[in-house]
A and B are shown apart, each in its own frame.
Chain A
Amino acid sequence: MVRSAFFALLAFWASVWSMGTQATAQDVSDEQAARFLLQASFGPEKDSIRDVQRRGYVGWLKHQMSLPRMSVAERVQESRWIKKRNFGEELIDLFWEQALFGEDQLRQRMRFALSQIVVASLADTVTSRHHEAYLDYVDLLDEEALGNYCSLVRRVSFQPTMALYLTYYKNQKADEERGIFPDENYARELMQLFTIGLEELELDGTSTGVPTYDQDDVSGLASVFTGLALAGEGFESQHNIAKPFRGELVGYPEYHETSEKRFLGTVVGPGDDAVASVHEALDHLLAHPNVAPFISKQLIQRLVSSNPSPDYIERVARAFNAGRYVAGEDVSFGSGERCDLEATVAAILLDPEARSITLSGGDIAGKVREPIIRAIHIMRVVSGDGEVSTQGLVPNYQELHRDRDEWGRQRPYLSPTVFNFYRPTYVIPGSATEAKGAVAPEAQIMTASHFAAQTTWADRCAVQRRCQINELPPPDLVPFLTIAHKPRKLVDLLDLHLTAGQLDPKTRSRIITALWTIDVRPGPDLEKSLKKRVSLAFSMVTTSPEFMVQQ
């Protein structure tokens, strides 16, 4: 049945795929490649546009999935062995370095998306104090970014970082004498945010309105997450003493709830083996039919569209459940195991609704781009040749790791709570999208403070480098300066690289008119005035709605 469904879809999409599978540069236009990269990477620039054209969509995805990954833990530990500095800042700098220069853009982008779903934030001081464990969490996100979502949830549940962040580290069974009960934090958020959500869903993401769980389910599952800590831990002490503070959680039978633990219609135990209890509980939870639509929809929202159609969600959810996505007669993605993320991400990015503007939901198509992704994208466009450093110190990008309104205070690994930087339900008040029943999650952090701060950022920092990021290679402005005497050409180039050719004709002409106000004539001030034009062009394009929204 599943197989026949795939073949039916196959016929339906044949035209869309042919563009990708047998691609040559003629098949994928500059703008199409750039648009694909708005979804699949930290933003197009000249090299990646050509790369997509050369390989085609499918070939590009396959290539991305074949790239080796670098261990973030090893990289940062080596750097810290040479010289220690603020851990969170170092991780953010490495994030920027990988996003700016890494070839493995798809993995990075997926890792960032997952870090916003399975959140363990450095904003929590207890979590951020335990560096080694946190690095393992980042590596886990990195590994499973193109791996398996269910495996990520299972593995992260045994990670000390998650146990500290959602406070089940050394969580104890009920003790009447001391008047205490198990901590319910992880039980609740694991269900609400990481796996099934609050209401029963159809495969296409539509809610039936039936609550998935109640308070009894939460307290039942909370009892499962008791008696867990790293080996060698003193359970009665407030302090965490395991050294090194990393590895998998193990069970402490005397602190684990031994009686039956009931939740979501299942019974775990009785038994005092905490690890076995957690596996049993996760088997049940991860098999819930909500997982596929719940996670598929959020991943679509992170990459492609805030308001995907139910059919789109269902197609991706089917790939998630099948663990496989067929992209052509001899081409498929995924291992065949449920929750496979290669299959899922291929289904998301190759779907007609992602690839074709006309199929993608009319005037509520696309999404607001995340502020931090926009900031990184601007830097990618002006960056010269850089590489991800593989040894020595992780570069210190000073300004880029600060808590700034320029990126809507959206620093990787630092969401304010487990509920992420913004909520998937956010609707812009009194808006045209609201009238159409559409959400715009990322717009929640686009405050007046953000709009004000970002006006100068591209010019001040990316182009002119009047900001503290000495260790970033200098910008390569030559491609822009050489055409700055022709405003139309300059805007064409920025339009392609920054907005995938989506600039409105009126916006274009306004920018071009503004550029003409800067006099460019031969003489000692020539370079200065050309640079002024490049600066103004960047300022105006990056503050255009067409740049803030990907269609």
Chain B
Amino acid sequence: MISQRFISRRSFVQGFSLLGTTAAGFTSLPAFATEDDDYKALVCVILRGGLDNFDCVIPADVAGFNAWAKYRGSLLEQYSASKQTTRDRTALLPLGGRGASTHALAPELASLADLYARGRMAMVANVGPLIEPLTRRRLEANRALSPPHLASHSDQYAMWSTLNLEGNNVGWGGSFLDRMEGVSPYSSISFSGFEAFGQGRDIHQVTLNGPKVAEIPGTKFVPGRRVGPIDEALREHLTGQGVRFDEALLRDIAREQNRGIQQAVFMRALINDNPEGKAAKIEGNRLSEQLAAVLSMIRTRSYHKTKRQVFVVSMSGFDTHKNEVDVLPSKQSELATALARFDAALERKGDGDKVTTFTVSDFGRTLAANASGTDHGWGGHHFVVGGAVKGGRVVGDLTPPTLDHDQAWAKRGGLIPTIAIEQYGAALGRWFGVPASDLGVVFPNLGRFDAGAVDIFGS
């Protein structure tokens, strides 16, 4: 565990002295990571709005495809008319492997299909919030508990992040770090604003709005030259020294600013224009730009002396109620190419098996479409990428494309999850090195499920 005391003063001093050494640019920095260090990172990719899993993983056998197509009539009409893309059965990319012998990926996910074929990506089918194992029959007979506020964006997203309703601000990524050795004030970083997922009780998340940070007065100086008195005064003011407010809200904001300023100084030095990140970057791909900053942090780990990191990056626009055919394919392609480029860069630098990247989303969507899109569902399929992943396989059941199977939810074929977030998270946590005894603390509900079901790591 890390104490709050550790965070403030030391990292700030670190930040400024680092700036001193890097004033001449990154080329003067000595070699970054060493090959054999004990380092691991989890990268959580948020797909905001609720990914339509039924347009990503599609039955490719004739019978399955036709059954699926029946509920996607409006979308397929629009796909047929599209010049950019298709959902023609023959254009789909067969997955093969355990659990997916008859399923395929949408053409825009080609880079992921490639990772899958190379054993660097696994899929976990039908994951979502659960309180206990659940089937359609048990749910309809009111014989089991189900999570509250289903299909509400804010709450289901909060369930994914914190296993709790909205308002809870500690997530399982942060909780992992709370229980591990080798953490630092830079163990949890979001490039996507505040994300409860990465926030711990002790570990405080560094929250940035993107892969670049603005300059702060008093931090841009040439080694050897003194900071002027104005910048010095301002710097002291910004770091809140000397004033302790009686009012809780003022005290909190002072602390947030103090900490935010320190983090910004440090992060700016490590990510702005750091050439280390370039290998992961696809220009114009917003997800990829965030992943490039993640790579910069991973590659400068000898500076922040962090052995365990949790990153959050995100893409938005997945709430495809309408015009799904115009919107989703390009997002799929952005996601797939960004993840593949990131993985390739890590592999080339020898960090491939130290980093695992996985997706989360508010919920899956309905199998049965509306006039041009899909609505809120519950469970969804997710991707796990990295050198440590036992890839080329799907864990869990890719349910049949009907509205009345055992796991079908409500009237439109949304999915009642078969794998709880706890099971998905426990697999990631185990790989990350969270002690087995602590997994039950991070996931208090884990005991109600088969904790080892998501078997996606190891040989």
Contact = CB atoms under 8 A, between A and B. Distances in A.
B9 interface: no
The DSSP consensus for interface residues of chain B is: loop
B164 to A, nearest CB: 11
Interface residues of B, number: 85
Interface string A367-398: 11000000000000000000000000000000
Given A171-B370, A179-B368, A238 B78 contact: yes
A171 B372 CA distance: 9
Contact of A366 (B249, B372, B412): B249
Nearest to A185: B321
B154 A423 contact: yes
A546 B257 contact: no
Contacts of A450: 209, 260
Contact of B316 (A417, A423, A440): A417
Given A183-B371, A215-B151, A536 B208 contact: no
Contacts of A434: 169
Interface string B322-355: 1100000000000000000000000000000000
A417 B193 CA distance: 14
Interface residues of A, number: 86
Given A449-B208, A452-B268, A443 B70 contact: no
A82 interface: no
B238 interface: yes
B261 A447 contact: no
Contacts of B260: 446-448, 450-452
B371 A126 contact: no
B102 interface: no
A528 to B, nearest CB: 13
Contacts of B78: 238
A113 B193 CA distance: 22
Interface stretch (A56-64, A136-144, A272-280, A506-514): A506-514
Contacts of B73: 177-180
Nearest to A551: B247
Contacts of A310: none
Interface in B35-71: 48-49, 70-71
Nearest to B191: A449
B293 to A, nearest CB: 12
B176 to A, nearest CB: 16
Given A417-B319, A543-B257, A425 B166 contact: yes
B370 A180 contact: yes
Q: For B206, B245, B319, B411, which residue has the most chain A Cβ atoms within 10 angstroms?
A: B245
A181 B375 contact: yes
A427 interface: yes
A456 B152 CA distance: 39
A172 B267 contact: no
A536 B228 CA distance: 13
Contact of B250 (A416, A427, A546): A546
Given A432-B252, A438-B249, A539-B217, 20 more contacts: A179-B70, A180-B371, A215-B410, A238-B372, A306-B249, A363-B249, A367-B249, A408-B209, A419-B154, A433-B249, A451-B238, A455-B234, A511-B237, A540-B233, A540-B234, A545-B245, A545-B253, A546-B250, A548-B257, A549-B247
Interface of A: 126, 166-167, 170-172, 177-185, 188, 192, 198, 211, 215-216, 218-219, 238, 306, 363-368, 405, 408-409, 416-417, 419, 423, 425-436, 438-440, 443-453, 455-456, 504, 506-507, 510-511, 513-514, 517-518, 532, 536, 539-540, 543-546, 548-549, 551
30 contacts: A126-B322, A126-B323, A167-B321, A167-B373, A182-B370, A183-B370, A183-B371, A185-B319, A363-B249, A419-B154, A423-B167, A426-B194, A429-B170, A431-B256, A434-B169, A439-B167, A445-B194, A446-B260, A447-B193, A448-B261, A448-B267, A449-B207, A451-B257, A455-B234, A507-B243, A544-B237, A545-B245, A545-B254, A548-B253, A549-B250
Interface of B: 4, 48-49, 70-74, 78, 148-155, 166-167, 169-170, 193-194, 199, 201, 204-210, 213-217, 229-230, 233-234, 236-238, 240, 242-243, 245-257, 259-261, 263-265, 267-268, 316, 319, 321-323, 366, 368-373, 375-376, 410-412
